[in-house]
Copies of this chain bind each other. A is one copy, B any other.
Amino acid sequence: MPVGRPKSFDETEVLERAMDLFWEFGYSALSVSELLAHMGISRQSLYDSFGSKRGLFVRAVHHYRDTQLTNALALLERDEPPLENVKAVMRYFEDLANDRRCRGCLVANTLVELGPHDSEIAQLLQATLDLLQVGLEEALRAAREQGALPATKSPREVSRALLNALIGLAVAGKLKQGPEAYRDIYSGTLSMLD
């Protein structure tokens, strides 16, 4: 295939479908044939555009970061009291846990499946999580300066514990525990801010 030949498909749309598949089923359990069937492209197009199944996966994780995670980060930028923004992020993950597809968070899923065995992917995941942790820490620091968070609380510790709870919620959402359980997790976790 000559270099530069125009693509016969919409790359963003194809990445969106790949992201949805990996998000729901993970990496190892999906065969290339299953991916192609759901993405609606040929094997040759996959290799031309993404290099390999792994290459497609890395691009799908980038796409997840640029869409889903960006939505969560935008909640921290709203012109609201910073603790309200932090609670909105927690609520965002509570909604993920209640999603009937039980797919959790692609980053958390990938951490479990590939994190320890693939250092390039581990770095990408760490960088993605760091974005959220830093955003939470800044909001907590602002809240403490405004007197909304007790001076005894460490924004660093609480932001790391909150990020950890978000990861937990993403995983706990794999079981259909029902909205009451996730609401309790939400309330209990936010009692860190008291």
Q: Which residues of A contact B (CB under 8 A)?
A: 24-26, 28-29, 101-104, 108-109, 111-113, 115-117, 122, 125-126, 129, 153-154, 156-162, 164-169, 171-172, 174-177, 181, 184-185, 187-189, 191-192, 194
Q: A171 to B25, alpha carbons, bound, how many Å?
A: 17
Which residues of chain B are within 8 angstroms of A174 by Cβ–Cβ distance? 111-112, 115-116, 122
A sample of 9 inter-chain contacts (CB < 8 A) reads A25-B117, A26-B112, A103-B116, A122-B176, A160-B184, A164-B169, A166-B168, A171-B171, A191-B192
- Which chain B residue shows the least CB distance to A193? B191
Q: A109 to B43, alpha carbons, bound, how many Å?
A: 31
Interface pair B171/A108, CB less than 8 Å apart = yes
Q: A80 to B95, alpha carbons, bound, how many Å?
A: 38
Interface pair B172/A164, CB less than 8 Å apart = yes
Closest 4 CB pairs of A and B: A161-B188, A168-B168, A115-B174, A102-B116
